[in-house]
Structure 1
Amino acid sequence: MSTFKYADDKIKTRDIMIAVPSMVIAVGILAFPRLLSEVTFSSDGWVAILLSGLVAVIFTWAVAKIAANFPNQSFFTYASFLVSKPIAVILVVLFSIQGITLTAFEVRAITDISHQYLFQETPMQIISLTFLLVVVYAVSGSRAGIFRLNVLFMPIIFVTTVILVLFSIGYMEVKNILPVLKTDVDGYMQGTLQSALSYTGIGVLFFYISLVRNPKKAPRMAAFGMSGAVVIYMLIYLTCIAVFGQSATEVIRFPFVELAKTVEIPGGFFERLESIFFVIWIMAIFTTTVMAFDATIFALNSIFPKVKKIKLVFTLTPFIYLIALFPNNYLETDTFGDFVSYYGWGLSITVLILLWIMYKVKGAKKSGKK
């Protein structure tokens, strides 16, 4: 396969800022309002989003900061320095497993949604294979090209979301968001946890910061990017609650999709707004899937430097496809998604704490010389 290569794979801090929301805004946001409505009362989920968002922003900054302390060094290189090479290999393998499972989950989730709303007569195996092959094509090319794709798609996704929210104003009812602050502490805690799980994927920053030309600014820009993702989650949740109400939202499988089907543009300019919505949102899911897969290849290449990227891509693709087809129904897919989220957060938090402790113990004085 002949692929186009940029002069280098270096990226700007702006690319990191856009990559963060491109990574964490994916298929989970379609069901996010329902999951939050199940554990909070009325519109109180905004408190949980705010709390989890604050945690996610701080965590994003911390991940980017530890990586930025070792400029132009791969995760495997600075992890080997901090925790020894054997442990670094184990960490890379664990992150690779996360990337593989996250990629498989995104493929399966977009397959379920596409089969339900767009391609009812098309076998799910064909939908999965088609989407995965497009992802493989993107990952096989330049890594810098993936970040340029994020820069192209993310503004479109953001603008489309804002437009959908604006056209939903006429369908909103004040009674749906009242009363406020009636949820108990346990509900807020569950809501905060549920919201935090939606930000899975921040761990890719451990690897991608090494590509940044000026890594000193990367932590701040990454935090800005996560803040933008939190704002989008907040807008979508409040819009769904204001339109459907909490009781209806918690029984709709994909409230955000149903919102697009409900809203109509005045003048009949578009008869089916949800068609445009699906096209745009598939972009969001596509960028997440591509970055998860690419980060996996990036990680494995660091411990297998002599293996060509394209060989790793073609080796992992069949496994991803089989894993994506493993769930037998929606419930098993949701359970698979929960596993991916808990595993991703657990791994990232553990690695972050471990690296920061070792950095304080022996890395602060030597990182610049390494």
Structure 2
Amino acid sequence: MMKSFEYGDEEIGSREILYAVSSMVIGVGIFGLPRTVGSVTKGSDGWVSILLGGVLALFFAWLVAKLASRFPRQTFLQYTTTLVSKPVAIFLTILLAFHLMQFTAYEMRTVANISKVYLFDRTPVEVIALLFLLVVTYGVACSSVGLFRLNLLFLPIVLLIAILLLIMNIGYFEPGNLKPVFSTKWTGYFQGARETLFAFLGFEILLVYIAMTNQPEKTPKAVMIGMSIPLLLYLFVFIIVVGVFGHTAMIQLTDPTIEIAKEVEVPGEFFERFESLFFTIWIMTIFNTSALAFDASVLAFRSVFPKIKRVWLIFFLAPIIYLFGMMPPNLIRVYEVGNWLGFSGFIFAILMPTILFGIAKLRGIKGNA
């Protein structure tokens, strides 16, 4: 009997989950993370907050994967119906879909704002956002599995350029900028950990996508490895940024991670603006993040409204996402939307899965785990 083509089915394996989780978490949050963490800590103490927030994110990502993997081949709506009533499950599914739509809109607006500053200074934000969303919509119009294959291609390139950026800034690193050490109050550490935890959100897509995996028993381990990649990246980025700029200057920069790319000088002046190259490459992972969130929202809506064709649902949701993203009139409002998105992400990535997992334990619903 002829063996079927490995990538010819509509299933994903543990490796695809690993890459997808990393790509989903590593988005626009890394640009301003050193500033937000540094604003509530002293010296280089922010690494402690990043580590605390990352460990918490690892645990809750494992919990989400463990919950969903107990019900293999079942959608979020199906296994939530098993745990609670169907009306409640439908309500939660629709809310999750709207959260993912808002996630996509925020990524779209943020990448448009940053692109205008570093790449297209004469192009209106509205045009940049529209073009980016059109590309994302084109990607989502294909199969969901195809998006996972793109992660396998894009993520190594993104990590390579990030590592290259860090290495090329070692020459500007001043160890004295790391002082003082361990001088932050405990409240500062925990406040920084809270800000960091929001930067790790995005793994809630597992609630939707684990229904497609053919290795549910391996998913929790893959998720842990996938979440460890952004944790290590965030730690190294923070240390390099504070070592290059110092704490006082770092918290005054809007996007410190992009600013360290400006410090890079390529021998022979082959690249005069390395930050443009860095951000251009980084758009790959922002595309992956936006496309996965958009696609997961489509899958969630289709589980509630199965008679609606995928392509028509995509064309209906895309303009709504664009309107969501363009509603904030200025950057201050965009940051407020980001804070609200962090709150809703806390609900769907941490609070709701914890409650559902507790219900499964109390009721003795083990699924196929």
Relative to the length of structure 1, the TM-score reads: 0.96
Counterpart-to-counterpart distance in 2, 1:300 and 1:197: 25
- Where in structure 2 are the equivalents of 1:301-320 lying within 5 Å? 301-320=302-321
- In structure 1, the residue matched to 2:285 is 284
C-alpha distance in structure 2 between counterparts of 1:32 and 1:368, whole Å: 39
CA distance in 2, matches of 1:209, 1:36: 32
- Residue deviations 1:94-150 (CA, integer Å, cap 9, x gap): 101111111110111011101112111111111111000000000000111100101
Given that residues 82 and 363 in structure 1 are in contact (C-alpha distance below 8 angstroms), is that contact kept between their aligned partners in structure 2?
Answer: no
Q: Which residue of 1 aligns with 2:4?
A: none
Aligned residues with identical type, % of pairs: 42
| C-alpha distance after superposition, 1:17-71 (max 9, x if no partner) | 1111100111111111111111110100000011011000111111001111111
Determine if contact 2:60/2:349 at 8 Å carries over to the other structure: no
Could you tell me which residue of structure 2 aligns to residue 220 of structure 1?
A: 221
* Residue in structure 1 matched with residue 108 of structure 2 by the alignment: 107
Say whether 1:118 aligns with 2:119.
yes
Residue matched to 1:3: none
Partner of 1:327: 328
SS at match of 2:57: helix
**49-58 vs 261-270, greater mean Cα deviation:** 261-270
Contact 2:61 2:349 in 1 (8 A): no
Q: Within 5 Å, give how 1:239-318 maps onto structure 2.
A: 239-318=240-319
Residue 93 (structure 1) aligned with residue 61 (structure 2) = no
| TM alignment of 1:1-370, pairs within 5 A | 7-365=8-366, 367-368=367-368
Q: Could you tell me whether the CA contact under 8 Å between 1:29 and 1:198 is conserved in 2?
A: yes
Structure 1 Cα separation of the partners of residues 364 and 161 of structure 2 = 44
- Tell me, what secondary structure is at the counterpart of 2:296? helix
| Contact 1:92/1:299 (<8 A) preserved | yes
The 2-side partners of 1:275 and 1:118 are apart by 6
| Partner Cα distance (2:152, 2:8) in 1 | 18
Task: Give secondary structure in 2 for the equivalent of 1:41.
Answer: coil
Letter in 2 for 1:59: F
CA distance in 1, matches of 2:39, 2:17: 33
Compute the RMSD of aligned alpha carbons. Answer: 1.2
Q: Secondary structure at the match of 1:288?
A: helix
Aligned amino acid, residue 117 of structure 1: Y
Shift of 1:328: 1.0
Gaps of 5+ in 2: 1-6
**Quick one: which amino acid aligns to residue 294 of structure 1?**
D
Structure 2 counterpart SS, 1:63: helix
Aligned AA (2:347): G
**AA matched with 2:78:** T
Range that drifts further, 339-348 or 11-20? 339-348
Mean CA deviation greater in 284-293 or 258-267: 258-267
Q: Distance in 1 between matches of 2:349 and 2:223?
A: 16
Q: Is the 8 A contact 1:21 1:226 kept in 2?
A: yes
Match of 2:308, SS state, is coil
Cα gap change, 1:117 to 1:275, in 2 (>3 Å): closer
* 1:265 Cα deviation after fit: 2.1
Cα shift at 1:368? 3.2
1:310 CA displacement: 0.7
The one-letter code matched in structure 2 to 1:66 is L
Shift of 1:363: 4.6
Q: CA deviation at 1:271?
A: 2.5
1: CA distance, partners of 2:328 / 2:251: 23
* Distance across 2 between alignment mates of 1:128 and 1:368: 43
Distance between the aligned counterparts of 1:363 and 1:312, measured in 2? 37
**Alpha-carbon distance in 2 for matches of 1:236, 1:289:** 22
**1:75 and 1:207 in contact (8 A); partners too:** yes
Separation in 2, partners of 1:31, 1:368: 41
SS, match of residue 119 in structure 1:
coil
Q: Residues 64 and 205 of structure 1 are in contact (CA less than 8 Å); yes or no, is this contact kept in structure 2? A: yes
Deviations 1:202-252 (A, max 9, x none): 111111111111110100110110011101111111111010011000000
Q: Distance in 2 between matches of 1:36 and 1:209?
A: 32
CA shift for structure 1 position 277: 0.4
Rounded Cα–Cα distance in structure 2 between residues aligned with 1:332 and 1:130: 22
Q: Distance between the aligned counterparts of 1:183 and 1:298, measured in 2? A: 44
1:305 counterpart SS class: coil
Q: Given the two structures, how large is their TM-score scaled by the length of structure 2?
A: 0.96
Number of matched pairs: 363
How far, CA to CA, are the matches of 2:273 and 2:117 in structure 1? 16
- Quickly say closer, same or farther: Cα 1:363–1:88, change in 2 above 3 A: farther
**Distance in 2 of aligned mates of 1:182 and 1:121:** 44
